[in-house]
Amino acid sequence: MENKDLVKIFKAIANERRFLILKILYKNKEVSVGNISEMIDLSFRSVSKHLGILANAGLVECRQSSLNRYYSVNKSKFPKQFLAFFES
């Protein structure tokens, strides 16, 4: 993994809300934007913005189903060393 990719990942997870979103996704496998919004008491728009940043860093992937978007951790591109942080 190149330095620029690592910097992008570190910037994405440096935000407390995004770190919390990643923990939720890791524990629940796949969650809709609306459900994440309810779980962390943050507006739908803010959650979408945070998920966009995480997706841009390659940490999450999205599946569209009808009107809903479901997000999950992209384990294939997620640095293995970071997964331990989300298991607690």
Residue-wise pLDDT tens digits, 35-83: 999 999 999 999 999 999 999 999 999 999 888 899 999 987 776 766 6
pTM of structure: 0.86
Q: Is residue 82 part of a domain?
A: no
Residue 48 placed within a domain: yes
Q: Could you give the count of Cα atoms lying within 13 Å of 2 in the half-sphere of its Cβ?
A: 4
- State the DSSP code for 70: E
pLDDT in the model for residue 3: 81
Q: How high is the pLDDT of residue 10?
A: 87
pLDDT at 85 over 70: no
Asked if residue 81 is part of any domain, the answer here is no
Within a domain: 80: no
Number of domains in the chain: 1
Between 87 and 4, the higher pLDDT residue: 4
- Give the helix/strand (H/E) hosting 46: helix 44-56
Q: Which domain holds residue 37?
A: 3-74
Contact of 71 with 62, CB cutoff 8 Å:
yes
Tokens of 45: 């728009």
